[in-house]
Chain A
Amino acid sequence: MNWYSIRTLVSKDVSLFFRNRFFAFTTVGALVAYIVIYLVMPSDVDETLRVGFVADQLPQEISEQLVEESLEIYYADSVTDLKDAILDAEITAGFAFPDGFQEALATNENPQVEVFFPADLPQEAKDIYVLLLKELSFLMVGQPLNIDVNEEILGEDLVGQQIPLRDRMLPMIAVFILIFETLGLANLLSGEIEARTLEALLITPLRVRELFTGKSITGIGMAFGQAFILVAITGGLNNQPLIIIIALILGALLATGVGFLLASTGKDLMGILAWGVLAILILILPAMGIIFPGTITNWVKLIPSYYLVDTLNRAFNYGIPLQLAATNLAILLAIDLIFLWLGITALRRKIA
């Protein structure tokens, strides 16, 4: 293996890649955009219901029960203060009981309670607060309910330490960056096939094996480099960095294999885009299961990128140890080698 030739080939490919304005722009622009999107998204999850009462109207035992049920209570000095708190978005609903409320309840007079919401609160949330008020009133009159609920929590209970949406999205963004590189690599290769520069290269002392090694290094380097920058800047390496780096390298290898395959199908950018968009849509599908849990069935395991997305997600967000990620990584490596072999074979045939 002539490493000097390979190094020259890689540096030529990288400079050619950035000469293509479309891919140069999308590569840098998209990376910056993804990082900005991640950084501006909320870093925590708001999982509390915030309700307000006029301070002296709520019986002590009821307020204690509400706090036990994880509600956040705001005590206003007056109804006007309560309304202001809603308009200032400090709370999402406010309950104003009339004077003599407790006595009216005790004598079954059906007192009227005013509930205030911000106008833009979705209807389902308004319904929930109304239901909450109904239950509060039942509690205040001491009406019992003969139900025993046996609760079982499935999976780790993450109350109070929920995974923010941006962290659920991070594996998807990393995979998206890796997979998008398939288009760049495929375009680079197909351009060389069309211009017959690959044939010209093979006339030189460069051997086919070195040619594909060079192209693979370019593909893996471009894909891995961007994904690594993303996870490094967004703090994705804080948890299990070794697993994440291995997964990203294997992901870059997958992108390279798919890129080789795409290059063997399309003649120009349009042809590559046609197949590439289809490939991207399929490969991105497993990431949807992380953002929308429970929406994707086990069939998704047939998509190669599943093992990449799943590993990244479990390492980023749940900090799984290497031994638990090993199966996924081994499957991913096997898939990578198959794709790489398929891609190289298809390309060799095309060049021949």
Chain B
Amino acid sequence: MSIRRVFVLIGKELRHSSKNFIFVFAVVIPVVLSLIVSLLFGTLFTGKPKLGIHDQGNSQLASMLGDTEALQAKNYDTEEILRSAVESGGVDFGIVIPEAFDEDLLNNEQAELDAYLWGESLMKNRAAIATTLVVLVREMIGQEVPVQILTTSLGDGDDIPWEKRLFPFIVFMAIFMGGTLVPATSLVDEKQKRTIKALVITPTTFADVYIAKGFFGFLVSIFVALVVLSLNRAFGNQPYLLSGVLGLSAVMAAAMGVLMGVFMKDINTLFAVIKAMGLLLYAPLFIYLFPIIPGWVGKIFPTYYMIGPLMEISQKDASWSQVSTDIFILIGLIVVLIAVLAWVSRRESRRGT
């Protein structure tokens, strides 16, 4: 193996693969998905009832509604826009607060509110909005709640927001697409175009090619994963440990990618195999999506050791002692994959194909 040749090959990968669709896909998709998930789950999937407000004066109620956490309030400049937002389902409920609303209530006079309801809004959302409105109006006019409220949570469940549940998917996708798909498709492409044959006729060996492809996948994988982690501010309190685990996960992904590339003869077969392996690859991630599944189930699958320690460190601030067993298993898996790759590389060299 020649280090110089490996770096020449990496340079070539960078020049040619960066124009490849899969490369762009591997870099762009996890980042875009990460942004979409935080955007969607931050607003669309909150489960909060949506209230539209058109404030004709400067009512205190509008700002109180905007501040409450119980619902999602949005202001509209005109009644027509509010009406059309309700009609299209953009909000469940729309209210028009008249100019003298606060004044009437404070003077103990009858106040009026026009309300629009979206026909498809859920009964519980309507009830929730109506209750919130009434209670906030009472607060506004200074009526004091006649009871003291003591809240108690029962059971040991945890309200995990969906963006948090989906985060492991995005990190895994970042590692897997860059680390596995990039080298695998690049190798298969070279095999289909027969450029790999031309390469190994020169002093370049199969080992040089595999290392270069794998290293390039590793770089892409680690780069995209770092971008996704920084976009989500998910470095936790142990950035060095996290970076180390990220590096190991990227190595495993790259080794898997090179192996797939070596064994698959064309792109169609490669994609078919990746599709077929989908359940095995993604299975550990379902324990994050559905916390009701016992944690040990995920540990049956090798990809758990790529994503598990990363999630423990970034989401739960786990220390080395808490994740060391998983990391040693990850290192073991990498050693096995590299051993298989070395054997395959020697076999290919002997065959000279």
With both beta carbons as reference points, the residue of chain B lying nearest to A187 in the complex is identified as: B268
Query: B112 to A105, Cβ gap below 8 A?
Result: no
- Determine the chain B residues whose CB is within 8 A of the CB of A155 once the complex forms: 87, 118-120
Query: B149 to A113, Cβ gap below 8 A?
Result: yes
Residue B135 is within 8 A (CB to CB) of chain A in the complex: yes
- Determine the chain B residues whose CB is within 8 A of the CB of A135 once the complex forms: 131, 134-135, 138
Query: A21 to B146, Cβ gap below 8 A?
Result: no
> How far is B144's CA from A137's CA once the two chains are assembled, in angstroms?
10
Query: A49 to B21, Cβ gap below 8 A?
Result: no
Interface of A is mostly: mixed
Query: B46 to A124, Cβ gap below 8 A?
Result: yes
B179, chain A: closest CB distance, angstroms: 19
Residue B100 is within 8 A (CB to CB) of chain A in the complex: no
With both beta carbons as reference points, the residue of chain B lying nearest to A89 in the complex is identified as: B155
- Determine the chain A residues whose CB is within 8 A of the CB of B105 once the complex forms: 146-147
Query: B145 to A48, Cβ gap below 8 A?
Result: no
Residue B201 is within 8 A (CB to CB) of chain A in the complex: no
Residue-wise interface mask of A (84-118) relative to B, using a CB-CB cutoff of 8 A (1 in contact, 0 not): 00110000000000000000010010111111111
- Determine the chain B residues whose CB is within 8 A of the CB of A352 once the complex forms: none
Interface of B is mostly: mixed
- Residues of B293-309 whose CB lies within 8 A of A: none
> How far is B90's CA from A146's CA once the two chains are assembled, in angstroms?
29
- Determine the chain B residues whose CB is within 8 A of the CB of A117 once the complex forms: 151-154
Our pick among A114, A125, A134, A153 for the contact of B119 (Cβ within 8 Å) is A153
Which of B20, B104, B152 has most A Cβ within 10 Å? Answer: B152
Query: A270 to B267, Cβ gap below 8 A?
Result: yes
> How far is B44's CA from A336's CA once the two chains are assembled, in angstroms?
33
With both beta carbons as reference points, the residue of chain A lying nearest to B122 in the complex is identified as: A47
Residue B54 is within 8 A (CB to CB) of chain A in the complex: no
> How far is B134's CA from A45's CA once the two chains are assembled, in angstroms?
26
A158, chain B: closest CB distance, angstroms: 5
Residue-wise interface mask of B (100-128) relative to A, using a CB-CB cutoff of 8 A (1 in contact, 0 not): 00001100111111111111101111111
Number of interface residues, chain B, beta carbon within 8 A: 76
Query: B120 to A119, Cβ gap below 8 A?
Result: no
Our pick among A128, A149, A270 for the contact of B113 (Cβ within 8 Å) is A149
Which of B22, B137, B147, B161 has most A Cβ within 10 Å? Answer: B147
Our pick among A125, A126, A134, A271 for the contact of B135 (Cβ within 8 Å) is A134
> How far is B125's CA from A48's CA once the two chains are assembled, in angstroms?
9
> How far is B85's CA from A122's CA once the two chains are assembled, in angstroms?
26
> How far is B113's CA from A140's CA once the two chains are assembled, in angstroms?
24
Residue-wise interface mask of A (135-159) relative to B, using a CB-CB cutoff of 8 A (1 in contact, 0 not): 1011011010111111111111111
Query: A294 to B123, Cβ gap below 8 A?
Result: no
B274, chain A: closest CB distance, angstroms: 9
Provided the pairs A49-B127, A117-B151, A154-B119 are in contact, do residues A292 and B44 lie with their beta carbons within 8 angstroms? yes
Residue-wise interface mask of A (38-64) relative to B, using a CB-CB cutoff of 8 A (1 in contact, 0 not): 000000010111000000000000000
> How far is B108's CA from A120's CA once the two chains are assembled, in angstroms?
41
Query: B155 to A124, Cβ gap below 8 A?
Result: no
> How far is B22's CA from A274's CA once the two chains are assembled, in angstroms?
8
Residue B159 is within 8 A (CB to CB) of chain A in the complex: yes
Query: B157 to A269, Cβ gap below 8 A?
Result: no
Residue A205 is within 8 A (CB to CB) of chain B in the complex: no
Residue B275 is within 8 A (CB to CB) of chain A in the complex: yes
Provided the pairs A86-B154, A135-B134, A150-B115 are in contact, do residues A119 and B159 lie with their beta carbons within 8 angstroms? yes
> How far is B150's CA from A114's CA once the two chains are assembled, in angstroms?
5
Which of A26, A47, A162 has most B Cβ within 10 Å? Answer: A47
A171, chain B: closest CB distance, angstroms: 15
Query: A154 to B118, Cβ gap below 8 A?
Result: yes
- Residues of A148-177 whose CB lies within 8 A of B: 148-160, 162-163
Residue B47 is within 8 A (CB to CB) of chain A in the complex: yes
Residue A323 is within 8 A (CB to CB) of chain B in the complex: no
Residue A8 is within 8 A (CB to CB) of chain B in the complex: no
> How far is B164's CA from A120's CA once the two chains are assembled, in angstroms?
14
A59, chain B: closest CB distance, angstroms: 14
- Determine the chain A residues whose CB is within 8 A of the CB of B21 once the complex forms: 270-271, 273-274
- Determine the chain B residues whose CB is within 8 A of the CB of A143 once the complex forms: 138, 143, 146
Query: B124 to A162, Cβ gap below 8 A?
Result: no
Residue-wise interface mask of A (11-39) relative to B, using a CB-CB cutoff of 8 A (1 in contact, 0 not): 00000000011111110010000000000
- Determine the chain A residues whose CB is within 8 A of the CB of B149 once the complex forms: 112-113, 115, 130, 133-134
> How far is B91's CA from A126's CA once the two chains are assembled, in angstroms?
21
Provided the pairs A25-B272, A48-B123 are in contact, do residues A154 and B113 lie with their beta carbons within 8 angstroms? no
- Determine the chain A residues whose CB is within 8 A of the CB of B125 once the complex forms: 47
Provided the pairs A45-B122, A130-B151, A295-B90 are in contact, do residues A20 and B275 lie with their beta carbons within 8 angstroms? no
Residue B70 is within 8 A (CB to CB) of chain A in the complex: yes
Query: A128 to B157, Cβ gap below 8 A?
Result: no
Our pick among B113, B127, B155 for the contact of A87 (Cβ within 8 Å) is B155
With both beta carbons as reference points, the residue of chain A lying nearest to B273 in the complex is identified as: A21
Residue B158 is within 8 A (CB to CB) of chain A in the complex: yes
With both beta carbons as reference points, the residue of chain B lying nearest to A154 in the complex is identified as: B87
> How far is B144's CA from A143's CA once the two chains are assembled, in angstroms?
10
Residue-wise interface mask of B (242-272) relative to A, using a CB-CB cutoff of 8 A (1 in contact, 0 not): 0000000000000000000000000111011
Residue B6 is within 8 A (CB to CB) of chain A in the complex: no
Residue B3 is within 8 A (CB to CB) of chain A in the complex: no
Residue-wise interface mask of A (261-282) relative to B, using a CB-CB cutoff of 8 A (1 in contact, 0 not): 0000000111101100100000
Query: A105 to B88, Cβ gap below 8 A?
Result: no
Residue B334 is within 8 A (CB to CB) of chain A in the complex: no
Our pick among A114, A132, A137, A145 for the contact of B131 (Cβ within 8 Å) is A132
> How far is B120's CA from A156's CA once the two chains are assembled, in angstroms?
7
Query: B275 to A29, Cβ gap below 8 A?
Result: yes
Query: B70 to A293, Cβ gap below 8 A?
Result: no
* Sample (22) of A-B pairs whose CB atoms are under 8 Å apart: A20-B268, A22-B269, A49-B128, A70-B124, A86-B154, A112-B149, A118-B153, A119-B153, A120-B155, A120-B157, A123-B159, A130-B149, A131-B70, A131-B132, A131-B135, A135-B135, A137-B145, A138-B138, A148-B113, A153-B116, A163-B120, A269-B267
- Chain B contacts to A: CB under 8 angstroms: 20-22, 25, 44, 46-48, 68-71, 83, 85-91, 104-105, 108-120, 122-128, 130-132, 134-135, 137-138, 143, 145-161, 185, 189, 267-269, 271-272, 275-276
6 tightest CB-CB pairs across the interface, nearest first?
A294-B90, A293-B89, A120-B157, A155-B119, A127-B70, A47-B122
